[in-house]
Amino acid sequence: MKDKLLEEGNYNVIYVGWDSSFKLIPYYQPVANTIVVGLEIANMIKHLKNKMGLNPEDVHLIGHSLGAHAAGYAGKYTPGLDRITGLDPAKPLFHDRPIEHRLYHTDAYFVDVIHTNTYLLGIEQPCGHLDFYPNGGSQQPNCIFSSCSHSRAYELFTESIYSQCVFKGCGKINDNTVCAVMGLNAKKPTSISNYDIRYYLNTTGTSPYCPE
């Protein structure tokens, strides 16, 4: 994803990595660590703002699984943050938690979310201004294991960076069909009534994922 962003646009990309040792400890610890990671990201943005003149309105955070909630925490502590993209935000220990403790649309000016494994690893409830559920959002085509469906979210987003094909999801509000673009080129809905819509779309089971 980093490489594609740098190839396609004039971006500065900062990669926030998790210590690999978290895989060896109980899951509840990295869940708690999302708060720490989020605060560190917020502190970094503040530092770049004070020292380099960075405008939070130019910052777009992209996080997968636990990283999506870490991005949410960062947004809660960064006034004026422009955008957060949540890629299949983690479900265990986050489902139905208060919005103060999970990704939510108030965490940035624009929050878009791609749900790809609501069956097990990804949160099912809407979290953003735009919530997309490719192939129903539960399991993805050509995926046997949940980890494959869980990872499909960032694969779809990565493809949206460079693909000439547009990922378009549609949903219903008051018996009217509304549609929106999923991925890097997603735009915040102009109406607050559109925030609770679930946008559905179909993809292929292998890259290129966007059906022509």
CATH number at residue 26: 3.40.50.1820
Q: Give φ, ψ of 22 to 5 degrees.
A: -65, -20
Q: 124, 95 in Cβ contact below 8 A?
A: yes
State the distance between the two ends of the chain, measured CA to CA, in whole angstroms: 22
Can you tell me the distance from the alpha carbon of 134 to that of 204, in angstroms, rounded to the nearest whole number?
A: 10
Q: Give φ, ψ of 96 to 5 degrees.
A: 65, 15
The answer to whether residue 32 sits within a structural domain is yes
**Is 65 a known active-site residue?**
yes
Find the domain containing 16 and state its range: 2-201
What would the pLDDT profile of 22-62 be if each residue is shown by its tens digit?
A: 566 788 888 999 999 999 999 999 999 999 999 999 999 99
Confidence of residue 191 (pLDDT cuts 50, 70, 90): confident
Catalytic entry in 65, 149, 151, 160? 65
Instruction: Return the SS3 of 30.
Output: helix
Q: 69, 100 in Cβ contact below 8 A?
A: no
The answer to whether residue 211 sits within a structural domain is no
Give me the pLDDT at residue 20, please.
59
Catalytic entry in 112, 115, 150, 151? 150
**Is 95 a known active-site residue?**
no
Catalytic entry in 88, 107, 112, 131? 88
The count of domains in the chain is 1
The answer to whether residue 10 sits within a structural domain is yes
